[in-house]
């Protein structure tokens, strides 16, 4: 998809469709008024007809308008101007992108000036337009032999409202594409998207960018490093585990933006369980297919690294993926088995379905060698996070409040919100074991917190935040069933706004 800024006046733009807002009272902005004047008041008459409330989602398509170069005008409800904030703007842009995509209008112009009169600024609107248009255009087709003919969106233009709008469009597009990459990986079935598949995906990513390189550790190398915990998860599967490490070096000098005083990288660590049967602690059958999404943390890391590379951000970033398939089998880990993690700490595996923390802990120990500025792990870790927050929140815990405060703000700014839970010491004793340094589960209560308590024992040497995305990473039902691409927007907001060091 092509995004660009056009200096032409709205009546001169030869698009298939011009999307212009109509406010709740039927009011038209400047651009819509120019079109209205050119078409002898047709827009005003429709706006005032009473046929629509002009809430966001209301839409009237006008064909062959007089006095303008475009083929159609979409009068798009924008609701009340005083209610029109970032959330509303995103809904407006996404809904209208879907509207034009559902019809055959490949060249579309979004009149943003009339929206910009209100709160979200021009840069934000342009970036969001590109993000929402990319996300709206994504279709999962990879494993479908027959697909309906779909309309395409080839190019989207916006008026030249401010400086650096081109850059904002590129930024939004990279975020949207990063989300779609994460969605595609999440949607692929477990028989295609294996740990080695994720590794090859990372290799291909690295091939396409001079600033990216990749290391893939196989099981023999992990055994050498003593990653007994990660390996215990893959023991029952014929698919070999992989630890994928993508290095993005974009900081101008050793002293890079946000990369700490000496170019220290931000490290992202994604849970990459390509299918989670539960292992010997087998999950019930109902909706077990959804456990192909158990690598959405990994997918968000790959989507984010790809977006950072596309934008050539001046930062140092490491994207790690701990990839394994959790299966029962003759060699599978059993409840009661005790494994030794890379850190030397021993773990009594009381439930083989609490496998995410087992792969993450060794990846987190490995991350120490990069002397990270901070580490963020992203994982579809607990059903308890879904029970408490449904699909809306990324659930956050960690050991550095300043880091978490930044992430909370980034969640608000990107509309990919996070909510913090307490990581109080009182919860730690739920992990006590009579036979090992810790158990891998903490009993019935506070499952999301005790999972983070487990991880906290592997993050003592750096600033760390954990995002449990079990609820936010996918939609479970109906036409929307599939991966969401979250929290790529949150992670990108964070990386785009790393503080400048001097």
| Complex with ligand BES: residue 399 or 430, whichever CB lies closer | 430
| Complex with ligand BES: residue 195 or 250, whichever CB lies closer | 195
Residue among 79, 356, 411, 489 that touches Zn ion (CB under 5 A): 356
The number of CA neighbours under 13 Å toward the Cβ of 389 is 25
Distance between CA atoms of residues 256 and 114, nearest Å: 38
Q: Which of the choices Mn ion, ligand BES, Zn ion, none does residue 382 contact, using the CB cut-off of 5 to 8 A by kind? A: ligand BES
Distance between CA atoms of residues 244 and 301, nearest Å: 11
The verdict on 468 binding Mn ion (CB under 5 A) reads no
- Where do the H-state alpha helices sit in 291-345? 296-311
300: its two tokens: 């968000």
Sign, CA torsion 115/121/124/127:
positive
What's the min distance (Å) between Cβ of 471 and ligand BES? 7
Give the interface segment with Zn ion, choosing from 272-280, 416-424, 427-435, 448-456 (CB under 5 A): 272-280
The verdict on 325 binding Zn ion (CB under 5 A) reads no
| Complex with Zn ion: residue 277 or 430, whichever CB lies closer | 277
| Complex with ligand BES: residue 220 or 286, whichever CB lies closer | 286
- Count CB-CB contacts under 10 A for residue 346: 16
Distance between CA atoms of residues 172 and 175, nearest Å: 5
Give the interface segment with ligand BES, choosing from 108-116, 259-267, 316-324, 376-384 (CB under 6 A): 376-384
The verdict on 468 binding ligand BES (CB under 6 A) reads no
The verdict on 382 binding ligand BES (CB under 6 A) reads yes
Distance of CA 329 to the CA centre of its chain: 33
Residue span 354-393 as binding mask against Mn ion, x where in contact by CB under 5 A, dash where not: -x--------------------------------------
- SS3 readout for 311-373: HCCCCEEEEEEEEEEECCCCCCCCCCEEEECCCCCEEEECCCCCCHHHHHHHHHHHHHHHCCC
The verdict on 377 binding Zn ion (CB under 5 A) reads no
- What are the C-alpha distances in Å from 130 to residues 109, 127, 468, 494? 12, 5, 27, 19
| Complex with ligand BES: residue 26 or 482, whichever CB lies closer | 482
Residue among 157, 333, 365, 380 that touches ligand BES (CB under 6 A): 380
The verdict on 449 binding ligand BES (CB under 6 A) reads no
The verdict on 447 binding ligand BES (CB under 6 A) reads yes
Quick one: the chain helix, strand, coil %, rounded to 5? 40, 20, 40
Sign, CA torsion 123/129/130/131:
positive
The verdict on 446 binding ligand BES (CB under 6 A) reads no
Residue among 88, 276, 325, 493 that touches Zn ion (CB under 5 A): 276
The verdict on 270 binding ligand BES (CB under 6 A) reads no
DSSP 456-470: HTT-TTS-EEEEE-T
The verdict on 315 binding ligand BES (CB under 6 A) reads no
Number of residues that bind Mn ion (CB under 5 A): 3
What's the min distance (Å) between Cβ of 353 and Mn ion? 4
Residue whose beta carbon is closest to ligand BES: 383
The verdict on 358 binding ligand BES (CB under 6 A) reads no
The secondary structure element, H or E, covering residue 72 is strand 72-77
What's the min distance (Å) between Cβ of 356 and ligand BES? 5
Q: Which of 423, 417, 382, 399 is nearest to 494 (CA)?
A: 417
- Where do the H-state alpha helices sit in 74-138? 86-101, 113-116, 122-137
Residue among 383, 412, 461, 475 that touches ligand BES (CB under 6 A): 383
216: its two tokens: 């893939």
Give the interface segment with ligand BES, choosing from 18-26, 43-51, 125-133, 379-387 (CB under 6 A): 379-387
Residue whose beta carbon is closest to Mn ion: 353
Longest dimension (CA), the chain: 83
Binders of ligand BES among residues 288 to 307 (CB under 6 A) are: 294
The secondary structure element, H or E, covering residue 363 is helix 356-367
- Count CB-CB contacts under 10 A for residue 369: 8
What's the min distance (Å) between Cβ of 343 and Mn ion? 22
Point out the residues that are catalytic.
283, 357
- Dihedral of CA atoms 104, 108, 110, 111 in degrees, nearest 10, equals -110
The verdict on 29 binding ligand BES (CB under 6 A) reads no
Length of the chain: 502
What's the min distance (Å) between Cβ of 354 and ligand BES? 4
The verdict on 276 binding Mn ion (CB under 5 A) reads yes
Residue among 39, 88, 353, 416 that touches Mn ion (CB under 5 A): 353
Distance between CA atoms of residues 10 and 166, nearest Å: 18
Using the structure block, give the residue that is written with the tokens 């903490």. 442
Distance between CA atoms of residues 25 and 43, nearest Å: 14
Q: Contact positions toward ligand BES, by CB under 6 A?
A: 276, 294, 351, 353-356, 380-384, 386, 441, 447, 470
Q: Contact positions toward Mn ion, by CB under 5 A?
A: 276, 353, 355
């Amino acid at each position: 998809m092509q995004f660009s800024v056009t200096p032409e006046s709205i009546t001169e733009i030869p698009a298939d469709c011009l999307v212009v807002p109509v406010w709740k009272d039927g009011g038209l902005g400047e651009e819509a008024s120019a079109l209205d004047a050119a078409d002898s008041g047709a827009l005003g008459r429709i706006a005032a007809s009473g046929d629509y409330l002009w809430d966001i989602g209301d839409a009237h398509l006008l064909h062959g308008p007089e006095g303008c170069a475009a083929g159609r005008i979409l009068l798009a409800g924008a609701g009340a101007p005083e209610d029109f904030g970032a959330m509303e703007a995103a809904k407006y842009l996404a809904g209208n992108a879907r509207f034009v995509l559902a019809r055959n209008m490949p060249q579309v112009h979004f009149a943003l000036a009339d929206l910009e009169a209100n709160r979200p600024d021009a840069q934000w609107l342009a970036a969001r337009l590109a993000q929402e248009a990319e996300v709206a255009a994504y279709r999962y087709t990879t494993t479908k032999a027959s697909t309906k003919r779909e309309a395409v969106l080839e190019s989207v233009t916006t008026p030249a409202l401010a400086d650096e709008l081109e850059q904002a469009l590129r930024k939004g597009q990279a975020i949207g594409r990063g989300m779609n990459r994460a969605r595609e990986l999440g949607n692929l079935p477990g028989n295609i998207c294996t740990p080695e598949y994720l590794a090859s995906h990372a290799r291909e990513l690295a091939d396409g960018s001079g600033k990216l390189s990749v290391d893939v550790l196989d099981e023999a190398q992990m055994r050498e490093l003593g990653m007994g915990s990660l390996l215990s998860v893959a023991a029952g599967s014929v698919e070999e585990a992989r630890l994928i490490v993508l290095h993005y070096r974009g900081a101008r000098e050793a002293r890079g933006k946000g990369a700490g005083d000496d170019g220290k990288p931000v490290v992202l660590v994604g849970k990459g369980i390509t299918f989670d049967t539960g292992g010997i602690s087998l999950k019930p059958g109902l909706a077990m297919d959804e456990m192909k999404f158990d690598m959405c943390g990994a997918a968000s890391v790959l989507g984010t690294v790809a977006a950072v590379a596309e934008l050539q951000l001046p930062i140092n970033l490491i994207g790690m993926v701990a990839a394994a398939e959790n299966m029962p089998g003759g060699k599978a880990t059993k409840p009661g088995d005790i494994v030794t993690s890379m850190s030397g700490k021993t773990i009594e595996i009381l439930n083989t379905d609490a496998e995410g923390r087992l792969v993450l802990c060794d990846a987190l120990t490995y991350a120490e060698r990069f002397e990270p500025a901070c580490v963020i792990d992203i994982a579809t870790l607990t059903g308890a996070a879904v029970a408490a927050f449904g699909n809306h929140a990324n659930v956050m815990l960690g050991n550095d409040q300043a880091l978490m405060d930044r992430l909370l703000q980034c969640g608000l700014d990107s509309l990919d919100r996070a909510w913090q839970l307490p990581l109080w010491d009182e919860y730690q004793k739920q992990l006590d074991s009579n036979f090992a340094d810790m158990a891998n589960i903490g009993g019935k209560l506070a499952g999301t917190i005790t999972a983070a308590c487990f991880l906290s024992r592997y993050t003592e040497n750096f600033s760390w935040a954990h995002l449990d995305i079990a609820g936010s990473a996918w939609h479970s039902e109906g036409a929307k069933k599939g991966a969401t691409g979250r929290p790529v927007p949150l992670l990108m907001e964070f990386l785009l706004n790393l503080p400048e060091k001097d």
